Structure 1
Amino acid sequence: MLSQLNANVRQYMLVTFNYWNFTVTDGALRMLVVLYFYDLGYTGLEIASLFLFYEFFGVGTNLIGGWLGARLGLNRTMNIGLGMQIIALLMLAVPASWLSIPWVMGAQALSGIAKDLNKMSAKSAIKTLVPENAQGALYKWIAILTGSKNALKGAGFFLGGALLSLIGFQYAVAAMAGVLLFVFIGSLLFLKSDMGKAKTKPKFSEIFSKSRSVNILSAARMFLFGARDVWFVVALPIYLGATFGWDHSAVGAFLAIWVIGYGIIQGIAPRITGKASGQPPQGKSAIIWALILAVVTGLIAFSVQQQWHPEIVIIAGLMLFGAVFAVNSSLHSYLIVSYAKGDGVSLDVGFYYMANAMGRLIGTMLSGWVFQVWGFAACLWVSFLFLAVTTLISFGLPNNQAEPLRG
């Protein structure tokens, strides 16, 4: 059956399968670390510090990883990411007495590098598998990959909370390492060796994008993801448990539902943003959706600050935030692949995801600090401020005519 499919479709399926499996372990590991170390008595800022290297090394990884992908091929960068994630998980499968802050930060550093190598490789690979004149198809393929990835990351959140309750931290990370080992072997055997390799070897100095469109979109992406992570990474899981008395499984399930819904919306984003006009989205679409998200976030922040049915507002409001954020994220994911140059696509995509990682780094650290000092409502107000900046930056994105959407 698979042998009868087009070669590019088979490669897309392999890339997506790798990305899916990696994403489940990434989401589960994040939830495991947050909940396990909160149980051990760590403060919000201390838990955020455990993710410092995860996000920090992601910044450099996307810059260098894009260059490596163009020189070595995207199959190699994807496989390196899978291998490093296995090592990171095994580092955490040690006795609890070994899990000092430096040790966990080191494991998280490897995991951060692995995640961004894997994501950059998967997103860049699609550009190489879709014809240059098929922008409608490119948008749909990107939306499917991104949406399914986030739905599975949500499943990972639920899995992490459930595994922590059922078998404990060490057995959970060991089991995930075992699953990824099988994926890694399959990837080594079946991914094409020349996928994404540039025709001319790019110089290291080319890691910084020379495209104005890519630079503006990257800046908008940085503030967009900082706006999400400033409340989502550390503040929300702790707030749900400490304020509302939710147990690990309930926290994991809520975040899982949130991210799964977010992923579903990302997957159908082309129907939301492109079908009415018959055109793929342009720069003005990013402005409109960023502004809508800023308004939604401001209303949630005000309601939580006023203590107006906070549990209902957080559950319903953050579901709405997730839906609108998903459209924003899907728009950005399409625009970067559309703006990126065809030869050595991973250079531009890597630079863009460097900005994405920088936003996550800023958001993660602020999530622990702002929550510990001022509380959850303050995290939401910082998110609102970041989204206002995202909206202003997006005015610089181009509005070129594109190929009509088909199908």
Structure 2
Amino acid sequence: MTPQIRQYLLVTGNYWAFTLTDGALRMLVVLHFHALGYSPLQIAMLFLFYELFGVITNLVGGWFAARVGLNHTMNIGLFLQIAALCMLLLPSAMLTVPWVMAAQALSGIAKDLNKMSAKSTIKLLVPKEAQGELYNWIALLTGSKNALKGVGFFLGGALLALFGFHYAVMGMALMLLLVWVVSLLMLKGDVGKAKNKPKFTEMFSKSPAVNTLSAARMCLFGARDVWFVVALPVYLAERLGWEPSQVGGFLALWVIGYGMVQALAPRLTGATSVAKEVGKVPDGRNAFAWAAGLTLVPVAIALGLDYPVQGKMMTGEIILLGGLILFGIVFAINSSLHSYLIVSYAKEDGVSLDVGFYYMANAMGRLLGTVLSGWVYQRYGLEACLWISACLIALAAVVSRQLPRHPRPI
């Protein structure tokens, strides 16, 4: 095992540990504050700074990582997540909305520093001509991360039921502290440094392909979060009467399955790990086709929920859960395609600049979706969230038509 691979495995291990706590914390916050009587919009506002600072972090963090190295940004992210967890250890009466929003801001910064660091590192380990192998590595990293995030959802619901909010957060903080100490001792700090120190103005991408893909990504993730982040778990609890452990368990299984599909995306889209020919890996044509197909899923769910039939509650539950599974499969392939394309498009020297800009757009989409999820659900219900989701996916498909395409064989 080469030193580069060992370093990458350490980075990936850090990313996995962080993702586990991130998923658990999100479920803990949603379920705990819903039980305290917070409205869907108030719960969405708790995550406002989480997403907002994710936007800022990705934009500035890519430039910062290119100057100091990706492993430094990884360690900073781990430390900030520990600090965010410690902020939530106050008694429930002292956990005011501004305080929780501030803790979520730190957590948002931490999460995006970790994700940018892990995904940028792959670009530096895979030979430029081995695009099929790069696609497989990206899909495996992205899929495993989301599978662990799903485990985190389940863990959050289970810890809340077994130990309560305070002790659940304390346990996660102690676990992540151990990971951080190991990371400080073993990770080297020179991976990902640009040869020429980039200027601050260079954090905005100058690549048309990166800019186009970033716009599509923003729409895609806004479409997911507009009904998944707040509206769906609150709907399951309020309208269907699910217990917190049931909500956390189901969403955990969904995200785990979603991650597994992401890891399998190269096979599902016809790419292989040994493919070196340009035509064997995805391009803009694939991104458009899969986004166009995804548009139909929220439309079908919304129509199904509106359709008057006998036993509407039971029928609506089947339509919602079945549609959610189908949405997860198709969305996972879309996400994996995008994750490969951004690393492929990014320039090698200072790779974190392009990757950071792209995930800034990703965070912008999540921010838009999170705010709309609480507000639209509270005012108009889940069906309205689904229609907005379909519109945003359709916009992502239109934008994706401008992405570069491989020449078709004659």
TM superposition outliers: structure 1 runs of 4+ over 4 Å: none
- State the TM-score, normalized to the length of structure 2: 0.95
Aligned partner letter, 2:219: F
Aligned positions of 1:317-332 closer than 5 A: 317-332=323-338
Does structure 1 residue 115 correspond to structure 2 residue 111? Answer: yes
Aligned equivalent of 2:10: 14
Deviation at 1:275, TM superposition (A): 3.3
Structure 2 runs not aligned, ≥5 long: none
Q: Deviations over 1:83-117 (max 9, x none)?
A: 00000001001111110000000000000000000
Deviation at 1:47, TM superposition (A): 0.4
Q: How many residues align?
A: 398
Aligned positions of 1:77-226 closer than 5 A: 77-226=73-222
Does structure 1 residue 228 correspond to structure 2 residue 234? Answer: no
Q: Which moved more, 1:303-312 or 1:240-249?
A: 303-312
Q: Distance in 2 between matches of 1:62 and 1:244?
A: 37
One of 236, 247, 250 as aligned partner of 1:240: 236
Q: Distance in 2 between matches of 1:401 and 1:68?
A: 36
Deviation at 1:9, TM superposition (A): 1.9
- State the TM-score, normalized to the length of structure 1: 0.96
CA contact (8 A) 2:271 2:282 kept: no
Q: Distance in 2 between matches of 1:8 and 1:201?
A: 22
Q: Secondary structure at the match of 1:399?
A: coil
Deviation at 1:155, TM superposition (A): 0.4
CA contact (8 A) 2:157 2:248 kept: yes
Q: Which moved more, 1:243-252 or 1:296-305?
A: 296-305
CA contact (8 A) 2:132 2:271 kept: no
Q: Deviations over 1:242-272 (max 9, x none)?
A: 0111001100010001000000000010001
Q: Deviations over 1:208-252 (max 9, x none)?
A: 000000000000000000000000100011000101110011000
Deviation at 1:401, TM superposition (A): 5.5
Does structure 1 residue 52 correspond to structure 2 residue 48? Answer: yes
Aligned partner letter, 2:371: M
Q: Distance in 2 between matches of 1:85 and 1:31?
A: 16
Aligned equivalent of 1:394: 400
Q: Which moved more, 1:303-312 or 1:126-135?
A: 303-312
Q: Distance in 2 between matches of 1:204 and 1:44?
A: 38
Aligned equivalent of 1:381: 387
Aligned partner letter, 2:87: M
Aligned partner letter, 1:343: D
Aligned equivalent of 1:405: none
Structure 1 runs not aligned, ≥5 long: 403-407
Q: Distance in 2 between matches of 1:271 and 1:145?
A: 15
Aligned partner letter, 1:87: A
Deviation at 1:363, TM superposition (A): 0.1
Give RMSD over aligned pairs. Answer: 1.2
Q: Distance in 2 between matches of 1:232 and 1:194?
A: 38
